[in-house]
Chains A and B, each alone.
Chain A
Amino acid sequence: MRKVAIVGAGLTKFVRRALETPKELSFEATKTALDSCGLSLDDIDCVAHGSAPDAFDGIHQKGEYLADGCGGWNKPTMRVYVGGATGVHAVVHGWHHVASGMFDLCLVVCEEKMSNAMPHAQGFFLTIFDAITERALHPNLLWIFALEMNRYMQRYGYTKEDMALAAVNNKRNGLLHPSSQFKDEITVEDVLNSETMAYPVSRLDVSPVSDGAAAVVLAAEPVARRLTDKPVWIEGVGWTLDTAYWATRDLYYPRYLDKAARMAYEMAGIREPDKQINIAEPYDPFDYKALHHMEGLQLSPRGKTVELLRDGHFARDGNLPMCPSGGLLGVGNPIAAAGTMKICELFWQLRGEAGERQVPGDPRLGVAQAWGDLMQVSSVVVTGI
């Protein structure tokens, strides 16, 4: 298997309402990523990009519209799409381009602009449900994630306070991130006292609505070694999609992530992920999801995650830092771009370039994950130096 490395990364600021167009956001991330490794667009062989529903931007065939902002004109350009998991999956998609031997340098770009939706992006999620069996009930995402959160808490006897701990951890980490859309630290009480959206989900259990873009540059081994002294290797990739009939599944455990993670670990030759991995960037659009996903990633025993969180195991200076970037809760959640932001974080952390956010102890192996669709898909990328 051909070795592939990340050699550059770029990120826009995550904001609630960007004045830039989707193309301009993509351009900014693309330019920053290329500049970070001293490349120009002419050096790039292909573009693998991602963006979540077309409905956010109100543009049919959004990939075509975004193509030139991503540098993807007069080049092979292909958009991949797996709902919320798109951000991490676009890197898997880019890995396919380079690892196949077809291309040497691939630009991966993800963009999302959710503020175009008036009054709120949540409205578009009404159209993700089965037209016959579900849509008539007018469900939205908060509604079904409330079911999942409830089931997860009930299974292990967790409380809302336990879940809020994850929000506090990630939001505190995010305060140090230059792209974050937040400025204030929050407490468990703040989370518990925030407005109930759909019980047990309160406002501060949820990541915000955001605009932003992120990009990374992938290179084949010889090219990567020429470009940088510190390539961050893609050691393993995995992805899995579960049935669309989500009501037929037990929601307490993400079995799709279990499979995806095992696929990635097998490729990376990792036998004991909880001992071998130094940094985890689980997908955290909701606080409970960060914990739920730590279990799916085999980084925490089922039902013991809150205990480990309380013991500081997942803090920045703990044994296995969880979301040192701040994650979606702490930085922001421009859907596809948020996943790629996690990959950017692994790139900076493993190279020791994360500044104030740097995880101590010379981390060597990290994992990033994103999740989406009807609580049914996960993509996992393991990186190492």
Chain B
Amino acid sequence: MNKRVAIVGIGCSGFRTTSTDLSYREMIFEAATKCYEDAGGIHPQSIDSFVASSEDFMEGISIADEYVPDQLGAVLKPVQSIAGDSLQGIASALMQIQTGQQSIVAASAFSKVSNLSHYEKVAAYATDPAYVRPLKEHPYFIAGLEMNRYLHESCSTREQCARVVIKNKYNALSNPRAVYGSKITTEDVTCAEPVCFPLGQFDISGHLDGAIVILLASEEKAMEMTDRPIWIKGIGWATDTPNLDSRKDGLGSALYAKLAGESAYKMAGIKSPVNEINFAEVDDTFSYKELQHLEALNLCGFGEAGKLLEMGCFEPGGELPVNVSGGSLGIGYLHEANGLQKVMETALQLRGEAGKSQLSGVETGLAFAWRGIPTATGTAVVLSNRL
């Protein structure tokens, strides 16, 4: 990597299933204020550029980019929106710093999904207008098909997927930002009403409102601003075709995660991810996705994730703790803010500020986010508290 970049500020607000008392702009204002405070009390005038991540339909506003600057203190500043997961927003912010034109860049994202009365109808608008949308199915049917295919190809089991839910919801009990934490059993998950077979109610992460702002800075600025910088060692993102019938490795694969991981590892100089990554926050929008993504990210062999999970490898005390924060199944699903949530939890662990969830002696963590149904886009980032 040609120029080192660090996370120097983190702020979040909300993390509630509904927030009738606040507009999303107020939520972002709170997150931004906390973030700037966290970065040593920086004034937004000193920030060079801003990147927001959002999608119009989720906000009920066309050209949602219009409403980005005011609550971030970014009026008359370079501001752009990435129509993608907020981890792609982090990638854009990182590239801006690496060009040398900017030194300090803020990335923001939010979810105000409680404003939506029918999320599935919005998600249906993301499916192909000619081939898929006319089927008038709940878009989660794609997740059902994927899960079926993944379980078949990898020889993983339904029960192993249930174990993911149990682990993440249990981990969430130690995280004050998590709202879907609970102690449940395999039967609770497998006997729950199926949504799109074999995907059941508990296999799907619940919606969540929240806003997150993260501040990145070049090495020189980071050293001035904070004594606990978290370095971005590598980042990678990839998109597979949106057509369900023409994905190169089939529906059971997560090729986007494989490609994103490979790029991030290459940039970070990681040759053996399983030995060099201490813990991972990996997308678990649906239970099977955690297993599928762990394999695609080369953190274990294909078809091994389920078995390793049963052996306790991915528990907080295991060899590779996964989603210690509770993940999306335990914390809640923040839509385009999903990526920043993963980065935030990873960075807090590396700072040693994860409270009851804190792991000991961690140096390098991986955050990975997927954009959800029906997309095939993912972003991976390797973070470390060592330069």
A residues neighboring B (CB under 8 Å): 1-2, 52-55, 58-65, 67-68, 72-83, 89, 92-93, 95-97, 99-102, 124-125, 127-128, 130-131, 237-245, 255-256, 259-260, 263, 267, 372-374, 376-377
- Having A78-B84, A100-B99, A374-B66, one finds 9 other A-B pairs with CB under 8 Å, namely A1-B99, A60-B57, A65-B242, A68-B242, A68-B243, A99-B95, A101-B2, A244-B66, A263-B78
* A78 in contact with B91 (CB, 8 Å): yes
List of B residues within 8 angstroms of A80 by Cβ:
80-83, 92
Asked whether any CB of chain A lies closer than 8 Å to the CB of B100, the reply is yes
List of A residues within 8 angstroms of B100 by Cβ:
1, 99
* A243 in contact with B263 (CB, 8 Å): no
* A127 in contact with B78 (CB, 8 Å): no
Known: A64-B371, A125-B62, A128-B61. A97 touches B76 (CB 8 A): no
16 contacts between A and B (CB under 8 A): A53-B62, A64-B374, A74-B240, A74-B248, A77-B377, A78-B84, A99-B98, A127-B61, A128-B61, A131-B61, A241-B69, A242-B76, A243-B70, A244-B69, A263-B78, A373-B65
Among B2, B236, B239, the one with the most A-chain Cβ atoms within 10 Å of its Cβ is B239
List of A residues within 8 angstroms of B125 by Cβ:
54, 58-60
* A243 in contact with B242 (CB, 8 Å): no
Known: A76-B237, A96-B92, A100-B99. A238 touches B78 (CB 8 A): yes
List of B residues within 8 angstroms of A237 by Cβ:
101
* A75 in contact with B63 (CB, 8 Å): no
Instruction: Report B329-387 residues with CB < 8 Å from chain A CB.
Output: 371, 374-377
Of chain A, the residue at the smallest CB distance from B56 is A54
* A241 in contact with B77 (CB, 8 Å): yes
B237–chain A nearest beta-carbon distance, Å: 5
Asked whether any CB of chain A lies closer than 8 Å to the CB of B122, the reply is yes
B258–chain A nearest beta-carbon distance, Å: 10
Of chain B, the residue at the smallest CB distance from A267 is B101
Q: Which of B82, B240, B260, B263 contacts A79 (CB 8 A)?
A: B82
Instruction: Report B52-89 residues with CB < 8 Å from chain A CB.
Output: 55-58, 60-63, 65-70, 74-84, 88
Known: A64-B371, A100-B98, A243-B70. A74 touches B63 (CB 8 A): no
Of chain A, the residue at the smallest CB distance from B124 is A60
**Distance in angstroms between the alpha carbons of A89 and B96 in the assembled complex:** 13
Asked whether any CB of chain A lies closer than 8 Å to the CB of B129, the reply is yes
**Distance in angstroms between the alpha carbons of A78 and B90 in the assembled complex:** 12
* B77 in contact with A73 (CB, 8 Å): no
Among B74, B79, B376, the one with the most A-chain Cβ atoms within 10 Å of its Cβ is B79
List of A residues within 8 angstroms of B3 by Cβ:
101
* B98 in contact with A73 (CB, 8 Å): no
* B62 in contact with A60 (CB, 8 Å): no
* B259 in contact with A74 (CB, 8 Å): yes
Asked whether any CB of chain A lies closer than 8 Å to the CB of B184, the reply is no
* B238 in contact with A78 (CB, 8 Å): no
List of B residues within 8 angstroms of A61 by Cβ:
55, 57, 83, 126, 371, 375
Q: Which of B55, B239, B263 contacts A73 (CB 8 A)?
A: B239
List of A residues within 8 angstroms of B128 by Cβ:
65
B126-161 CB mask vs A (1 if < 8 Å, else 0) is 101100000000000000000000000000000000
A208–chain B nearest beta-carbon distance, Å: 20
Asked whether any CB of chain A lies closer than 8 Å to the CB of B241, the reply is yes
Known: A61-B371, A63-B83, A80-B92. A131 touches B60 (CB 8 A): yes
B345–chain A nearest beta-carbon distance, Å: 23
A90–chain B nearest beta-carbon distance, Å: 10
* A55 in contact with B62 (CB, 8 Å): yes
List of B residues within 8 angstroms of A372 by Cβ:
63
**Distance in angstroms between the alpha carbons of A241 and B71 in the assembled complex:** 13
Of chain A, the residue at the smallest CB distance from B375 is A64
Q: Which 7 residue pairs are nearest across A and B when measured between Cβ atoms?
A: A100-B98, A60-B125, A241-B79, A100-B95, A60-B126, A77-B239, A101-B2
**Distance in angstroms between the alpha carbons of A82 and B80 in the assembled complex:** 6
Of chain A, the residue at the smallest CB distance from B3 is A101
Among B70, B91, B242, the one with the most A-chain Cβ atoms within 10 Å of its Cβ is B242
Of chain B, the residue at the smallest CB distance from A90 is B80
**Distance in angstroms between the alpha carbons of A97 and B371 in the assembled complex:** 21
* B61 in contact with A60 (CB, 8 Å): no
Q: Which of A76, A99, A102, A125 contacts B238 (CB 8 A)?
A: A76
**Distance in angstroms between the alpha carbons of A158 and B95 in the assembled complex:** 44
**Distance in angstroms between the alpha carbons of A243 and B238 in the assembled complex:** 33
Q: Which of A58, A81, A93, A240 contacts B65 (CB 8 A)?
A: A81
Instruction: Report B216-263 residues with CB < 8 Å from chain A CB.
Output: 236-243, 248, 255, 259-260, 263
Asked whether any CB of chain A lies closer than 8 Å to the CB of B10, the reply is no
* A79 in contact with B255 (CB, 8 Å): no
Among A55, A74, A259, the one with the most B-chain Cβ atoms within 10 Å of its Cβ is A74
Of chain B, the residue at the smallest CB distance from A92 is B80
* A74 in contact with B92 (CB, 8 Å): no
**Distance in angstroms between the alpha carbons of A385 and B78 in the assembled complex:** 26
Known: A60-B57, A73-B240, A128-B63. A240 touches B263 (CB 8 A): no
List of A residues within 8 angstroms of B74 by Cβ:
241
